[in-house]
Structure 1
Amino acid sequence: MSLAASPIRYPDVASRALMTRRAWWLVVLNLLIPGSAQVLAGDRKLGRFGLGATLTLWTLAVVGLVVWMLWPAVIYTVISTTVTLWIAAAVLAFYAVLWLVLTLDTLRLVRLVKTTPTARAWVAAFAVVVMATVSGTAAYGAYLATAASGFLSSVFVAGPSEPPIDGKYNILLLGGDAGPDREGLRPDSIRVVSVDAETGRAVTIGLPRNMVDVPFDADSPLAAVYPEGYGSIDGCEVDVCQLNSIYTEVELKSPEMYPNAVAEGSEPGIEAMRDAAEGITGLPIQYYVLIDMAGFQQLIDALGGVTVNVPEDIPIHADETFTTVAEWIPAGEQHLDGYHALWYARSRHGTSDYDRMARQLQIQEAVLAQFNPANVLSKFQEIAAAGSQVVKTDVPQGMLGYFVDLASKTKELPIVDVPLVPDNGVDPEDPDYEYIRQLVQQAVFPPEPEEPAEG
């Protein structure tokens, strides 16, 4: 092969101008098609290996893009399973090392000493920046994949998936608040979310914590103890016989009612609250999510705070008696850090439980709105660390992809809110549970619009 036929493999080393042009060609080719520089100017075996790996990655990327466009739930499932995340981490680590090797080898092939003195620093800097960017991105991706795998393992169970019932997934959301003045945790925020399994249409049902005479279905172990409703005959085992006391009573006094709860990724108190929510709403509940409201502060800080429209000045208390005001959250649009967002959701001074329910829903919606890919990826380490302390759930890992896909549909639709409060015809201290179930049914299963008459 003549010199003129292959100036990249057999260059005229005496020509600094030619060697400089060759150097730029090699480092750019290494960026665009890793492995091609070795095929043209170096170890062809290494180059063919690099090209094969590059083409394989491109193929996977194209296939992934097509699948994401046509069947996004498949991609969501792949990236929300610990096994596939570990495989992804291994693949990304492999490419990080491969691109590092190929770039260093490309720098060797360039022969910087043969290029013009003014170009040497630029060629070397470009190659190093490319190496740091490409290999560093792959290495960081591997780290994120392993961190995500650890987060999923710590939060989500590996149990069987539940099918939708009547086309709906019903999830119990509990916001737990274990204050120093309390014996055990009591859920202060209780909400059932019913999501259509196909369209993603969501209905949220706010359950006041002070509801009394809570009924239980016949198959609940609490039905035998409280056949006329929770505490309605001879009181209960704790100081206040209201909805959020059910968790405390069962968890502390009679956990044996739910012997399989812990083994199934739950707690006796949570299962009691599930039975209570089913009795109130008439909806079967497949899954629960328990959020530690104190830990919720860390999650909001990890997200960079939340922006909410504060309808009126809200007090922050100086102590847990909720009587002395330390400062105020002023009315208007406010960007709140975790501390202020938590107090905004739980403040009691001069407000009712129903006001708190509305504020808690507002904070939850604001947090969900900020859970977008860019925000989560940029702050993943902090969010994962906070989330593993904040959330407890029995949603299985195998359902995460499906629910993420469903949530993307939910975001595009208005959420129907059904607060069980006096303004909606419900008196929590003298509730009409038949009326409550009618409200829920009308919201969850709205009547089909009538077809216009022809002619």
Structure 2
Amino acid sequence: MTALTATASPMRYPDAGSRTLMTRRAWWLVVLNVLIPGSPQVLAGNRRLGRFGLGTTLALWALVVVLAGLWFFARTVVYSIFSNSITLWVIAAVLLFYAVTWVILSLDTLRLVRFVRTAPSARAWIAALTVALMVGLSGSAAYGAYLATTASGFLSSVFQAGPSVPPIDGKYNILLLGGDAGPDRDGLRPDSISVVSVDANTGRAVMIGLPRDLENAPFSPGPMADKYPQGYGYDDTCDVDVCQLNSIYTEVELKSPDMYPDAAKNGSQPGIEAMRDVAEGITGLPIQYYVLIDMQGFSDLIDALGGVDITVTERVPLGGDEDLNGVAEWFEPGKQHMDGYHATWYARSRHGTSDYDRMARQRQLQDAVLKQFNPTNVLAKFQGIAAAGAQVVKTDIPQSMLGYFVDLASKTKEIPVTNVEMVPPTVDPTDPDYGVIQAMVKAAVFPPSPTPSAE
């Protein structure tokens, strides 16, 4: 090696007799390995390995730039990429590839450092920093791969494979059911029944609450409309003990599931399809999708989230009978942080308040849980959340629509939600006027355009 060569390429041909120079060179190699993986090998080691490392680094940078561009100009595409189970497996494979690549490049960088030539006082620090950065980069990539595979499993277990459907009259209408499969019940019964109508362009949402004790509810055309042409429970006629709105699910599931033979094939259940038909009949809105939330399973999900913050507005008993005997404890008014057990009891408590209060508490709990779904919380507790969520949520929303709905939901958060509650004194559940109800829904979902003021 000539002096000219050593001067021209101090990284590859350093003066090994100078500890100061070798120490400085070692720090540069470690830093370059983090900033531009592959560059230490190109400068001081195996150039073939270095070119491979640089190629993978440049490919990663290009991918990040593309994703950043999509985030600012086509955010729905990003949401769609990260809400597809197959794509998530591809992402996991790519992240594992980079995790292994960074380990190989980091270990090779340690070899190129040539510790015995560096200052003794710097050796431990150089090694510690290199290992820490290697573990940080590779560990983060490996953890990202783990999250991707977990998310893929969650999406596959909850969401169906199916084509996207267009909005109807510019709206997506979704049936929300809060199911209560308590130990004292024969099957699940939806105690919280709502229809949310979302404008497909602006994200403006209207939440329509349907009391579970509505009587004589009409159905949209279908098998239940044929069976109950004058409404469900008309003249006290039905196949279960109580002929009210939330009994429809139980009746169809237990007595006549053959009325909806294609329900399972379409990612639904006969009882859910009957509830869809009655919700359409009540509101006059076509309903594209449903979401069923099992309130009994909510406890695990809430614990996985680390609890929820709820503002209690009135005293609510935990346990006890109709006369409030045997109450274990009380939920006192004020802000409270509740674990899963207490939160679900708060939402399901039956005594001391009305059914309409109970409906409101269930929606309050659902809103509180949604607020807990922030990126930091979800990433930190993703495994538990995904495991619990798969047991709590059932829906026929296809994976192909998830990206669109996530983007639409971000718009909805910026606009106040319009609530339409079919409760007394506006609506008498025992003698409802469904013409009035549909007029209320139409006015809320399709508000008249403001008339320009005359100048």
Residues 1:131 and 2:123 are matched in the alignment: no
Normalised TM-score (structure 2): 0.97
Match of 1:64 among 62, 67, 74: 67
Residues 1:40 and 2:43 are matched in the alignment: yes
Match of 1:110 among 108, 113, 127: 113
Match of 2:276 among 274, 277, 281: 274
Q: For residues 361-402 of structure 1, what are the alpha-carbon distances to aligned partners after superposition, in whole Å with 9 as ceiling and x for unaligned?
A: 211111112212222111111110110000110000000000
The letter of the residue matching 1:189 is S
Q: Distance in 2 between matches of 1:321 and 1:440?
A: 37
Q: In the comparison of the two structures, how many residue pairs are matched? A: 452
Q: For residues 226-260 of structure 1, what are the alpha-carbon distances to aligned partners after superposition, in whole Å with 9 as ceiling and x for unaligned?
A: 11100203511100000010000000000010000
Q: What is aligned with 2:241?
A: 239
Q: What is aligned with 1:448?
A: 449
Match of 1:151 among 146, 154, 164: 154
Q: In structure 1, the residue corresponding to 2:386 is in which secondary structure?
A: helix
Q: In structure 1, the residue corresponding to 2:54 is in which secondary structure?
A: helix
Q: Distance in 2 between matches of 1:368 and 1:129?
A: 36
Q: In structure 2, the residue corresponding to 1:4 is in which secondary structure?
A: helix
Q: What is aligned with 1:406?
A: 408
Residues 1:191 and 2:194 are matched in the alignment: yes
The letter of the residue matching 1:291 is I
Match of 2:420 among 418, 421, 428: 418
404 and 320 in structure 1: CA distance in 2 versus 1, 3 angstrom threshold: farther
RMSD of aligned residue pairs (Cα, Å): 1.3
Instruction: Decide whether the 8 Å contact of 2:322 with 2:351 is kept in 1.
Output: no
Q: Distance in 1 between matches of 2:367 and 2:52?
A: 49
Give matches, 1:20-419, under 5 Å. Answer: 20-217=23-220, 219-233=221-235, 235-317=237-319, 324-419=326-421
Instruction: Decide whether the 8 Å contact of 1:322 with 1:347 is kept in 2.
Output: no
Q: For residues 138-163 of structure 1, what are the alpha-carbon distances to aligned partners after superposition, in whole Å with 9 as ceiling and x for unaligned?
A: 00001111111010000000022221
The letter of the residue matching 2:447 is P
Q: Distance in 1 between matches of 2:323 and 2:155?
A: 37
Q: What is aligned with 1:12?
A: 15
The letter of the residue matching 1:433 is Y
The letter of the residue matching 1:445 is F
Q: Distance in 2 between matches of 1:110 and 1:24?
A: 8
The letter of the residue matching 2:449 is E
Q: For residues 305-349 of structure 1, what are the alpha-carbon distances to aligned partners after superposition, in whole Å with 9 as ceiling and x for unaligned?
A: 111211112111158998631111111011111111111111111
Instruction: Decide whether the 8 Å contact of 1:96 with 1:134 is kept in 2.
Output: yes
Q: Distance in 2 between matches of 1:137 and 1:259?
A: 47
Q: Distance in 1 between matches of 2:278 and 2:294?
A: 20
Q: Distance in 2 between matches of 1:418 and 1:242?
A: 20
Q: Any stretches of 5+ residues in structure 1 without a counterpart?
A: none
The letter of the residue matching 1:12 is D
Instruction: Decide whether the 8 Å contact of 1:322 with 1:348 is kept in 2.
Output: no
Q: In structure 2, the residue corresponding to 1:85 is in which secondary structure?
A: helix
363 and 88 in structure 1: CA distance in 2 versus 1, 3 angstrom threshold: same
Tell me whether 357-366 or 53-62 shows the greater mean CA deviation. Answer: 357-366
Q: In structure 2, the residue corresponding to 1:180 is in which secondary structure?
A: coil
Runs of 4+ in structure 1 off by over 4 angstroms are 318-323
